[in-house]
Amino acid sequence: MRALWMVLLVLVLLLGWLQYRLWFGTGGAGQVAQLQEQVAQQAHQNDGLRERNAALAAEVADLKSPTGEAAVEERARSELGMIRPGETFYRVVEGAPVRRAPPAPADADDGEPAR
CA 96 to chain centre: 33
Identify the pLDDT of residue 24.
80
Q: How far apart are CA 6 and CA 89, in angstroms?
A: 96
Amino acid at 21: R
Contact between 71 and 63 (Cβ < 8 Å): yes
Identify the pLDDT of residue 15.
92
The DSSP annotation for 68-101 comes to HHHHHHHHHHHHH----TT---------SPPP-P
Say which DSSP state 67 is in. T
Identify the pLDDT of residue 66.
79
pLDDT in tens, the chain (115 residues): 888 889 999 999 999 988 888 778 777 888 888 899 999 999 999 999 999 999 999 988 888 887 778 878 888 888 888 888 888 878 788 887 777 777 777 665 555 555 5
What is the b/e burial string over 24-47, where b = at least 16 CB atoms within 10 angstroms of the residue's CB?
eeeeeeeeeeeeeeeeeeeeeeee
Identify the pLDDT of residue 98.
73
Identify the pLDDT of residue 40.
96
Q: How far apart are CA 25 and CA 17, in angstroms?
A: 10
Identify the pLDDT of residue 93.
84
Angle, alpha carbons 86-92-98 (nearest 5°):
140
